[in-house]
Amino acid sequence: MSSAAAKKTRPKYLSLTALLFEIRLPLPGWVSILHRASGALLFLAGVWVLFILDRSLASQDGFELAKHYLKLPLVKLSLLVLVWAYCHHFCAGIRYLFLDLDKGVDLKTARLTGGVVIAAGLALTAYFGAMLW
């Protein structure tokens, strides 16, 4: 066997650890992944939010129970995560609408708008989170 064949590296298969720690994903890639994750989170959390809304509108006792439930720290933290998911999903959605119109497709602008989306999502989360607490 030749030495070139012996030194040939095996192909790297993508795994979660490779995506998180070995591969440097560019900022627009993170925006895309977070956009999908926030959309899935909003879809799944919709059942929880609708259940709380249903309980609060059912009766006066249900409203008081929902009001007490929403004051729990873990529930407030969960609501803060949902606020982030909505803000990020909204800002990234606007970015993707512009990309569909072929605006901001070049590399420099894509990196810039990716950073703007993450910063705007976090700033809006801080603003609405301050109103939540």
pLDDT tens readout for residues 8-67: 776 666 777 776 777 778 999 999 999 999 999 999 999 999 999 999 999 999 999 999
* Distance between CA atoms of residues 37 and 30, nearest Å: 10
Which 3-state string (H, E, C) describes 15-61? CHHHHHHHCCCCHHHHHHHHHHHHHHHHHHHHHHHHHHHHHHHHCHH
What predicted TM-score, i.e. pTM, was given to this entire model? 0.80
For the chain, give the mean pLDDT.
90
Residues 6+ apart with CB under 8 A from 83: 124, 125, 128, 129, 132
Which of the two residues, 2 and 90, has the higher pLDDT score?
90
Q: Which domains does the chain have, with CATH numbers?
A: 31-132 (1.20.1300.10)
Instruction: Quote the pLDDT of residue 81.
Output: 96
